[in-house]
Structure formats: structure tokens, C-alpha cells
Amino acid sequence: MSEDIKEQVVAAIKESGNFSLQLDESTDVSDAAQLLVYVRYQGKNDMEEKFLFCKRLETTTTGEDLFKLVDSFIKKEGLSWDQCFSVCTDGAPAMLGAHQGFTARVKQVNPAVIMTHCLLHRENLASRKLSLELNSVLEDVIQIVNFIKPSALNSMLFSQMWCDTGSEYEHLLYYSCVRWLSRGKVLQRVFEMRAEVEIFLNEKKHALASRLTEPRWLLKVAYPTDIFTVLNLLNISMQGTETTHLFVSEKLKAFKAKLTSWKGKTERGKTASFPLLNLFLEDEDVTLVDEQRVIVEHLEKLSEEFDRYIPDEELHEKYKRVRRPFDVHVKDLSEEESSIPNLQEELIEVQHDETVTSSVLDYCEGETSPRQ
């Protein structure tokens, strides 16, 4: 069955004529390095995204090894690197090395191919750093979870204790640093079950039981719960079969603007943008003291990291001709750096097509639906 599916996908790629690749090298539970490759191409009715292949890397995982594996598959299936329009990878040195990295080797066989560093991966890198205070709180939460979850007896007793109480949850969640959504979900579950967890830890005479009754500590749990929930939603919103670089970059631009807004509000003592934190402040009748400084510093650091990994120039200018073709000067387009022949002539045609121009103006004035 898998061979038949592969043949269908390869046949569809050949019929399309052009394709894009996305690669990720990872290690499975048996410590074997695996290379996963996905492909996107124009199908009969819409863009298609398919899993292309997964191959094991027998020895080393250098850029040359990755290239040989993909190159061998492409040649074996009768495809050509000239048909490859773009390649998306993570930021590993084996992928992005200037001379022997995978992208460098692809450029040698097809100089016109567009190389991109996965925006989802960069979003995860930008959001991973925490201040010492917030990281200490996260470590406390992980320690609490690791006291209850790994022990079959503790886990069973914890679940049994609350299965008849009508609690929304019965279990805590494990934290895993390689799973991008886990921080937010782990923190949220512990925060929402803090009363149940505090009672259980007191019964077990655990040293961290008192933490769950300290308002200042709980404030430092509520804030990262809120911010990582937002980051998780951002991450999920950037995924999907119909997602494009334009759509993802717009999501990131909006999030970076929100960070600036949240920082300003927090400096003024406004916390409505963080629902759990705001509700906790109201219910416990406490105010931000040192926590205000911690939150502002984290938001500022988060903004700096997003600017470092995802610069504004890339989000605003890289695909300006696609977003606003009528504002682009033809002389600013470099055909040498583009994989589209006669790019300048095509733009001139679009800019002087009255039908296209009037349709765009009508859309801007709200006279047509977005799909039209």
C-alpha cells in the first residue's frame, strides 16, 4: 500500500511540473536518526501537501549525508532538482552550512531554488528563553508533576481522589522540552488543579505543597500560563495544509505588535490581556509588585528574541510584490535572484491590467467577498 501511495504522489508531482520540499531530521526512540521529507505541489484542483518519504541515516547526519539521501530518491523516482521551486528546513548546521550544508548542496545543482528557515521552528526558538524567576517557577511545577505522574501509586491515588468530585481533569501532564506546546499545557493544568494538587501534596508531606498557597508564587505561574497559551495558539494557527508564508508572516507581525502593546499595558498595571493572571488578581485581591517587573522584562526579552529570529524586514519586505503588486517598482525586482523568468514583464502586465486593478479596488471598498 505504501509503495502504491508513493507512486501516486510521484506521478502527481511529475504532472504538476514543480514542487517544494520540507525536511526535518530527528532521532526516534531507538536513537536512530531519521530524515522526514514532505512535498507540496499544484494538484488538479488545489495545492497538495503529502508525506514523501522517511529514510534512516545509517551513520553520520551531515549536510552531505542528507543531500545524498534526498538526491538518490529524486533521481530514482525520475524527478529533477530543476523542478524544485523551494526548500524549507530547520536551523540545524547540517541544513544551513554555508559550504557543505544541505541547502548549499541543493544550491549547487539548482541555483534558483528558494531556501527558507521554517517560521514555526524560529517561533519556537524565540519563545523558549525564560528569566531566572520564571524558570524557577517552571522547575517547581515540573518537580510537582514528576512527583505525581511517574509513580503508578501516586498517579492512581491522585486520579481516584478526584474522579468523584466532578473535577474537569483527573490527571496532570508531563513536560517535554522537545514538544513545543507542552510548557503551556503543563502549566495550565497545574494552575487549574492547584487546589487538588495542594491537598494531595500536603497528604504526602511534600516540600512544595506550601507553594500552592503562596499568592506571589501563583502569580508567577498564572502569567507564563497565559503567555504560553497565546504562544501555543499562535503555533497552531500557523499550521495546516492551506497555510502559506504570507499568512504565517502576517500572524507573526500581529503577535510582535501585541507584545509591544502588552508591555505598555503591564507597565501601567493593566493585566486584562492575561485572563488567568487578571482573574487571579481579582479573586485573591492582590496586586502586582515585583511580578510586574518580571512580566515586563519577559515581554521585552520575548520581543527582542522575535526580532532576532524573525526580523521585521523579512516579514514586511520579502514578499511585498505579492501583497501589494501595484506599489512595487519594476526596476526594484531582480530577475537574477528570482526563479520566475520574465518577472518584470509579468508585473508590468498585472499593473496595467484594468480588470485586475478594478477588482482589487472593489475588494478594498468592501464590494466583493474575500474569496472573490
Residue 54 parent element (H or E):
strand 47-57
Residue 28 lies in a domain: yes
Helix (H, G, I), strand (E, B) or coil at 18: coil
Q: Are residues 144 and 233 in the same domain?
A: yes
- Does 371 map to a domain? no
Output the pLDDT for position 167. 65
Q: Are 187 and 102 in the same domain?
A: no
Supply the pLDDT for residue 283: 87
Q: What is the pLDDT of residue 149?
A: 87
- Whether residue 216 lies inside any domain: the answer is yes
Q: Do 105 and 178 share a structural domain? A: no
List of residues 6+ apart from 272 with CB closer than 8 A:
265, 278
Residues 152 and 53 in one domain: no
pTM of the model: 0.78
Quick check: is 370 in a domain?
Answer: no
In a domain, 81, yes or no: yes
Rounded to whole angstroms, the Cα distance separating 108 from 99 reads 10
Q: According to the model, what pLDDT value does residue 181 have?
A: 80
Whether residue 50 is found in the same domain as residue 108 = yes
Backbone φ, ψ for residue 42 (5° rounding): -80, 115
100, 117, 134: which is the final residue of a domain? 117
DSSP characters for 277-318? Answer: HHHHHHHHT---SHHHHHHHHHHHHHHHHHHHHS-HHHHHHT
Query: What is the domain-level CATH number for residue 70?
Result: 3.30.420.40
Residue 99's pLDDT is 67
Does 300 lie in the same domain as 353? Answer: no
Contact 245, 191 (CB under 8 A): no
For the chain, which ranges sit under pLDDT 50?
336-337, 367-372
Let me know if residue 129 belongs to a domain. yes
pLDDT at 372: 39
Based on the fold, state whether residues 278 and 236 are members of the same structural domain.
yes
Q: Which of 89, 117, 145 is the last residue of a domain?
A: 117
